[in-house]
A = this chain, B = another copy of it.
Amino acid sequence: MPFTASHATAGPRHAVIREVGLRDGLQSLAPTLPTAHKIAWLDAAYAAGQREIEVGSFVPARLLPQLADTAEVLAHAKTLPGLVASVLVPNLKGAQKALECDADLLVVPLSASHAHSLANLRKTPDEVVAEVARIRAQRDAGGHATLIEGGVGTAFGCTLQGEVAPEEVLRLMVALLDAGADRVSLADTVGFADPESVRRLFERARREVGDKLACAHFHDTRGMGLANAYAAWQTGIERFDACLAGIGGCPHAPGASGNVTTEDLAFMLERMGVATGLDVTALLALRRQLGAWLPGETLHGVLWQAGLPQVLNGAAAVAA
């Protein structure tokens, strides 16, 4: 047997789960969650320990009516002490709104798949890089504190183009940083990744840009969301996007559905001894609330069915 031993080591002891359900989750659902419910979600997520939340997207309301109240939701988020409130912006115009609203972070999506980029953003990847340079200039000219993150999507392939070369993903990450992004993230937009492709790409990306690789964004399209998160964590990743109840997907990537589930990921990390600052029981309660707010929508995730591990007969409790 040629294979003899593993050299796998433990990853970071702390991790952040950035809640993107209010943006990536809601944008792909048909119903529009009322602003009051979004604010209640924000408050409950904050109470459960979440300190990084993507509250919406500054895109034309006719394209994503579900996110038309992003400025209002962001204004509320800014009242929560210590919360890093981020927004997605597709272009300079959206970024200007984010800067005006004093978002803590703006995320500019770039699709490493040329075909997906044209279909989803109507720009080539390099045109997005050029837009990031303009956003950076605007940020600096205005003296805003808002951080800029370049989010490299379809990093593991896509339904329109098929394969995406890792070299192209790495080139675009570096180009984004050169253009003025403060940091970058990698996203498996359509659920094509597996733990080994995650390990390989994240290892290469970290060798290339170190801690500037700030976040991993996975979908659970084919059940590998948590396995992929574990693989990324092993390479040193400390921040993960996730959606409460695994809602969300990409309207331009057929077959894609469901981000990694916040409460399942939080439980896995805590169970692994990785501190997230999250109250998993509170997240499960919030999940139930979300189900009531979104009747008829399919919620995802597995933990909710079994709940936290229980020990009967008064034996010593197993750490959750």
A interface residues, Cβ below 8 angstroms from B: 1, 3-13, 115, 157, 159-163, 190-192, 194-197, 199, 203, 206, 211, 220-224, 226-227, 229-231, 234-236, 238, 254-257, 261, 264, 267-268, 271-273, 301-303, 305-307, 309-313, 315-318
A307 CB, min distance to chain B CBs, angstroms: 7
Please judge, given known A-B contacts A194-B268, A222-B267, A309-B159, whether A7 and B4 are in contact too, CB under 8 Å: no
Which residues of B have CB within 8 Å of A313? 115, 160
Q: Which residue of B lies closest to A207 (CB)?
A: B5
CB distance from A172 to the nearest CB of B (A): 19
Q: Which of B157, B224, B302 contacts A222 (CB 8 A)?
A: B302
Query: Is the Cβ of A230 less than 8 Å from the Cβ of B195?
Result: yes
B6 in contact with A224 (CB, 8 Å): no
Chain B: CB-nearest residue to A256: B306
Q: Is the interface of A mostly helix, strand, loop or mixed?
A: loop
**A148–B190 CA distance with the chains assembled, in angstroms:** 44
Bound complex: CA A261 to CA B191 (Å) = 18
Given A227-B227, A306-B255, CB of A317 within 8 Å of CB of B194:
no
Q: Is the CB of A318 within 8 A of B222?
A: no
Complex interface: chain B residues within 8 A of A254 (CB): 310, 312
Q: Which of B4, B190, B264, B306 contacts A236 (CB 8 A)?
A: B4
Besides A222-B303, A223-B267, 12 other A-B contacts (C-beta < 8 A)? A5-B235, A6-B11, A6-B234, A6-B236, A8-B203, A194-B268, A194-B272, A195-B227, A197-B271, A230-B230, A254-B310, A255-B309
How many angstroms from the CA of A77 to the CA of B159 in the assembled complex? 40
Closest to A7 in B: B7
- Inter-chain contacts of A203 with B (CB < 8 A): 6, 8
Q: With a CB–CB cut-off of 8 A, which chain B residues contact A315? A: 115, 160-162
Nearest CB of B to A13, in Å: 8
Contact B312 A159 (CB under 8 A): yes
- Residues of chain B with a CB closer than 8 A to A238's CB: 3
Q: How far is the CB of A19 from chain B (nearest CB, A)?
A: 18
Are B264 and A160 in contact, with the CB atoms below 8 A? Answer: no
A313 to B252, CA, bound (A): 14
11 CB < 8 A contacts A-B:
A6-B8, A6-B9, A6-B235, A10-B196, A157-B318, A194-B268, A194-B271, A221-B306, A223-B226, A223-B264, A227-B268
